[in-house]
Structures are given as C-alpha cells and as structure tokens.
A and B are shown apart, each in its own frame.
Chain A
C-alpha cells in the first residue's frame, strides 16, 4: 500500500468522523460534501474512475445541494419577516 493510499484512508476516516461530530446542520452539509470529495479522490487513486465520477456528482454536489436548499427553505420559513438568510 503506497503512502498516498494510507493518507487517503486516514483522510476518509477523519472527514467521516467530522460529519458525525459536527452538530450544526449547515456546517455538517459542507463536512458531508468534503467527505464526498475525499472519497472521490480515494476512488480515483484506486483506479475506479466511474465510481469516482458518481461519488463526485452525488456525494460531492447533488446531495449536499439538496440538503442545503431544503435547510435554507426551512429557515426562511421560520423567520418570516427578516430579509436575510
């Protein structure tokens, strides 16, 4: 196992743990996206470009965006009169 793989495994573990430990939903979404990007790099390093592309599109972009927008919509619903967010 080369050094870059060991580094990537450690990064995967660290970013995955970070998703669990971060409690603020808005930050958690970005941690989730970060985890997706780390997994994408790991899959690329393991020579699985198809899986990497799926992970990048779904784990790195689509799912975090979906969560982010849902969260944003819920929050703007809660503070009705404020023009911020």
Chain B
C-alpha cells in the first residue's frame, strides 16, 4: 500500500468515525460527576441480596458472572497460545529438571538478595492468599491475589536461581491449576442447573454480611480464578525461561543454571 493510499484510507476512516466519537465524548458525564445510576443501584441492592461488601466482586462473580467466565477462557486461550508459541520445536516433551545450556554461566546470588527473597517471598504469598480469601469483603479478589501469588514464586526464582525455582514449581501442576481453575468456574455455572436453578445462580448459603465466608458461590468462582491466574502467570514465566534455554543440539538436564 503506497503512503498516499494509506493517507486516503486514514482520511476516509477519520471522516466516518470522528463525528460519532465527538458526539459520544460530548455526552460523557463530566469528570468527577456523581456515579452513574447503575452503580448506585448495585450499591443499594448487592449488600442485601448477596451479603457481600465488595461490589466489584459482586458484579464480577455474580451479577455479570457470565462475562467473567468469558474472560476466564480468554485468559486460558491466551496462555495456551503463548505456551504453544514458545514451546515451538521443543514439543510436548517436558521435564521437571531445570534445563541447562552447555557453557552458560551460572549466576551466583548474593547473600543479601537471597535473604531478602526468603523473607519477602513467604510474606508476599501470604498477602496474596489474604487478597484471594477476602474477595467479597475488601478490594481485591482472585485475579489480583493470583497475580500476587505468582509474583511470590518469582521472588523464589530471584533468590534461589533457576534450578531451585524449578525444584519448587512443577510444570504439570501449573497446567492443572490453569485448566482446573477454568473448569471449576464452569462447574460453578453448570452445577446450579442440576438443582433446577438458572445458570450460575447463587444457590449456596450466602453467609453473613462482612464475613470472610460471605457470598456463597462467589467464593468458589473466586478460588477458580485465583488458581487459573496464579498457574497461568507462573506457566508463562516458566515457558519464557525454558525458551531461552533451548539448545541447538539435544538438551541435557543439568544441576543449576542462570
């Protein structure tokens, strides 16, 4: 496509889109205006109907739970695609041993880094679990908590090196977490139908308002999301690292590597 043709296409597209965009932008609520009617309605209804204090979780896992189910499978598809792309000709043969490229230097960790990671890692994991468990009470939830948990495993990599990290993290477990989380969420949608309720209807006891175990089915869905996100992010990280270790010849398992 020549530059002139591109400019012409751009001009036509702008002519078609700018009036619509301008009209929409002009009708947006002012910055800092009071929250929209939908938000006010949710704030009024959700505590009584669902017994949860965090409205965002109420929307994500209950009122618009179907959307989150879609996002869950988007995540699954994205991670699967990335893993397939990264594995390339390494194929499906997996090993739980850390791969080592012959001739690559083993980077020693300084004691300060090791100590910091050993102290901060478990604390970060605990905070991640806290964020996951308190999804219906405080801001946060399965996604945020899952990412924090995955970051916690990254600290183990920073402190212990690749070999130590691979001793802790098993690739098949990550696959199981990623897929199992998505399955758990789907089952949460289908299981209520067995009792005669609607898809993803909140049939479990709702618990007490402001209690950790409030929200009924939301807690199970939240756990599914946390599993999938934590497994998915760690799997992504593992495949990135394995990719950089792809040897030209047949790979040989080694003790430790950068």
Contact = CB atoms under 8 A, between A and B. Distances in A.
Interface residues of A, number: 26
Contacts of A72: 258
A73 B244 contact: yes
Interface in A27-85: 49-50, 52-54, 57-58, 61-62, 65-66, 69-70, 72-74, 76-77, 79-85
Contacts of B139: 49-50, 52-53
A73 B240 CA distance: 9
A62 B150 contact: yes
A74 B237 CA distance: 14
Interface string B220-258: 000000000000010011001100110000000000001
A44 to B, nearest CB: 10
Contacts of B147: 54, 57-58, 61-62
A66 B241 CA distance: 9
A51 to B, nearest CB: 8
Contacts, number: 72
B141 A50 contact: yes
A67 B105 CA distance: 20
Interface string B166-189: 000000000000000000000000
Interface string A1-27: 100000000000000000000000000
Nearest to B143: A54
B144 A80 contact: no
Say what secondary structure dominates the interface of chain A: helix
Given A62-B151, A66-B236, A85-B258, A54 B144 contact: yes
A54 B157 CA distance: 22
Given A57-B144, A70-B244, A83 B105 contact: yes
Given A57-B144, A65-B151, A70-B240, A80 B233 contact: no
A61 B151 contact: yes
Given A50-B56, A57-B144, A81-B103, 19 more contacts: A1-B32, A49-B139, A57-B147, A61-B148, A61-B151, A62-B147, A62-B150, A66-B237, A69-B240, A69-B241, A70-B240, A70-B241, A72-B258, A76-B105, A76-B107, A76-B258, A81-B105, A83-B106, A85-B105
List 4 A-B pairs, minimum CB-CB distance, nearest first. Answer: A49-B139, A73-B244, A57-B147, A50-B56
8 contacts: A49-B140, A52-B139, A65-B151, A73-B245, A80-B105, A83-B106, A85-B105, A85-B107
